[in-house]
Amino acid sequence: MARLAQTPGLTDVQTSILETVREFVDKEIVPHAQRLERADEYPADIVDGMREMGLFGLTIDEEHGGLGESLLTYALVVEELSRGWMSISGIVNTHFIVAYLIAHHGSPEQRAALLPKLATGEMRGAFSMSEPGCGSDVAAIRSTARRDGDGYVLDGQKMWLTNGAYSSVVATLVRTDDGADSRSASPTGSRVGNMTCFLLEKEPGFGETAPGLTIPGKIAKMGYKGVETTEMVLDGVAVPDSAVLGGPEQVGRGFYQMMDGIEVGRVNVAARACGISIRAFELAIAYAQQRHTFGEPLAGHQAIAFKLAEMATKIEAAHQMMVNAARLKDAGARNDVEAGMAKLLASEYCAEVVQESFRIHGGYGYSAEYEIERLMREAPFLLIGEGTSEIQKTIISRGLLKEYRL
């Protein structure tokens, strides 16, 4: 086992899970990732293997058919999957967030109906906040749910749904007119108290997958291929009161529910960044020992050796911050600042580590035959996903000012 990114204090069960996932990554993901990514092909065989291992139910409690593992276990599994291919981690990321939202905010009926199917992977989850006109400014959401008899009718357009096609339930944040009329702390004064999260069930696939709910097609991307990213069009989607996350009494609480889920997502992005960084380092240190220049291996040149030292140090720092944020959440403590710090540091360091690995590869790094070329296209996504670095700095600074207020 490599020395980098070790996590002390794991249980025997956690260690066993990670060893199994690591072996799966090395045998079933790494050898196929380049071909699948180049073809933008959905990794059906890999997903089937993940289902067989029970990874879709990793954090779902045993009562509902899952493994009942912690956020830390989930983050470390995501780190391993991302080391193989970041797109694979994307397949489980939004699924885990939806499972978390249902487990922590869902009604007893929602938990009983959805969690067992999510645990087996029979039903997959997607998470929807962004829209064409808003990304980081969640309070600017314009999609609506209006009262209609004993239920609601949803209209609007959502954007950037990972698992948009293959999912069967989408946790969707929209604006309602019957929630509390509170105001956010954002400079725009946008209302967040009248936002509600709905669990929209649909058939997997593209086109009209439920009455009024359309998944138009895949969005073409620079990287993060294989896993589909889609839009979602809501045109008169009728749902009952029971589709509100947590039940009708939770109308108007959607923003706060989703932000709780986003904290889980930020730990996930930090874990993804760590996984990609580890892979970039593995590629660099192997290449630096195999490639010879001026009569000796690249690693024998101080300039390259120092790059490797800096890359490893950044990986270690990012990994430890990610682990800390996950453990805080598992302990029931607030971790918005720590999750923001972990996501900020890990994603920025990931971009730097991948670029250094690319430089060590020289001209070969620009070739699509080399894995580092793919990582160069994947790393930038992490600077944006689950909130940009600037958003993380806003979250961190606000949290610190509250703690250190004079």
**Where in the sequence numbering do the catalytic residues fall?**
386
Helix (H) or strand (E) holding 174: strand 169-176
User: Cα 207–154–220 angle (5° rounding)?
Assistant: 40
Alpha-carbon distance values, 192 to 5, 100, 255, 349 (Å): 39, 21, 6, 33
Q: How is residue 243 written in tokens?
A: 């589709």
Q: In angstroms, rounded to a whole number, what is the distance separating the alpha carbons of residues 394 and 340?
A: 9
Q: In angstroms, rounded to a whole number, what is the distance separating the alpha carbons of residues 136 and 9?
A: 36
Instruction: For 27-79, give the secondary structure using H, E and C.
Output: HHHHHHHHHHHHHCCCCHHHHHHHHHHCHHHCCCCHHHCCCCCCHHHHHHHHH
For residues 325 and 270, is the Cβ–Cβ distance under 8 A?
A: yes
HSE of 88, CA atoms in CB hemisphere, 13 A:
31
The strand ranges marked E within 221-319 are: 229-240, 292-293, 296-297
